[in-house]
């Protein structure tokens, strides 16, 4: 029987060091070969598009930017002109609206004055009729159109209006009564 001996710890360490060194050398050689082939492949590839003659030079790019800036400035001026035109139109509309409101106020005042004058005239005329004798007023009312006469009869003092109606032709008195009765027939009721 032969007995095997265990190698000592120092011999084993040297072997491991030698194996590690060989593996390191093999990895380094592969790495250097990969870098060399990558550099060689790069020299054979075409240049990237940005480095070709198709790319505008700095002057052409500058001119393109300058032209674009000019278009933008032109658009800004056009927008400013439009904004100015809109502001002018708004000012004109405000002025016209103020004129319309002033005209409306003047018209309302004129209508109020006219209505007041017309009402004053009707009051005066009604007073004149009431100062007549009933037969005289009846003669005058018989010459008027039925609706017109009814308007004055409605304004007269009721007792005097009754005396005048009694003096009128019965057909005319009936017509005036029908007009007075139907004046507010179409007025909406709650």
Closest CA to 161 of 183, 137, 178, 184: 137
Answer whether 130's CB lies under 8 Å from 164's CB.
Answer: no
Q: Which of 89, 119, 149 marks a domain boundary?
A: 119
Segment-wise mean pLDDT, segments of 10 residues, the chain, 190 residues? 57 74 75 60 53 62 91 94 93 92 92 88 89 93 92 92 93 92 76
Looking at residue 36, its pLDDT comes to: 57
Residue 25: inside a domain, yes or no? no
Looking at residue 10, its pLDDT comes to: 62
Looking at residue 188, its pLDDT comes to: 75
Pair (138, 109) in one structural domain? no
- How many CB atoms neighbour CB 118 within 10 A? 10
Looking at residue 163, its pLDDT comes to: 93
Instruction: Give 145's DSSP letter.
Output: -
Pair (115, 144) in one structural domain? no
Answer whether 119's CB lies under 8 Å from 142's CB.
Answer: no
Looking at residue 89, its pLDDT comes to: 93
Residue 124 CA to residue 116 CA, distance in Å, equals 12
Q: How many CA atoms lie within 13 A of 30 on its CB side?
A: 6
Pair (70, 92) in one structural domain? yes
Answer whether 137's CB lies under 8 Å from 164's CB.
Answer: yes
Residue 141 CA to residue 156 CA, distance in Å, equals 12
Residues near 149 by Cβ (< 8 Å), separated by ≥ 6? 141, 172, 176
Residue 161: inside a domain, yes or no? yes
Containing domain of residue 150, as a range? 132-182
Angle (CA) 179 182 184, round 5°: 125
pTM of the full structure: 0.43
Pair (63, 113) in one structural domain? yes
CA distances from 114 to 119, 120, 156, 173 (A): 8, 10, 22, 31
Looking at residue 9, its pLDDT comes to: 58
Residue 15: inside a domain, yes or no? no
Residue 31: inside a domain, yes or no? no
Looking at residue 147, its pLDDT comes to: 92
Pair (103, 141) in one structural domain? no
Pair (82, 106) in one structural domain? yes
Answer whether 130's CB lies under 8 Å from 156's CB.
Answer: yes
């Amino acid at each position: 029987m032969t007995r095997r001996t265990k190698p000592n710890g120092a011999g084993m360490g040297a072997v491991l060091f030698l194996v590690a060194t060989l593996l390191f050398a093999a990895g380094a050689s592969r790495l250097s070969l990969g870098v060399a082939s990558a550099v060689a492949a790069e020299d054979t590839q075409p240049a990237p598009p940005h480095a070709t003659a198709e790319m505008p030079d700095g002057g052409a790019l500058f001119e393109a930017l300058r032209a674009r800036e000019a278009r933008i400035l032109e658009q800004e001026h056009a927008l400013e002109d439009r904004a100015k035109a809109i502001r002018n139109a708004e000012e004109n509309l405000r002025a016209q609206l103020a004129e319309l409101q002033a005209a409306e106020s003047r018209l309302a005042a004129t209508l109020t004055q006219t209505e007041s004058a017309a009402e004053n005239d009707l009051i005066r005329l009604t007073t004149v009729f009431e100062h007549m004798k009933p037969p005289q007023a009846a003669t005058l009312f018989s010459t008027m159109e039925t609706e017109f006469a009814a308007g004055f009869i409605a304004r007269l003092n009721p007792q005097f209006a009754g005396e005048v109606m009694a003096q009128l032709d019965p057909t005319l008195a009936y017509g005036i009564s029908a007009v007075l009765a139907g004046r507010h027939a179409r007025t909406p009721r709650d």
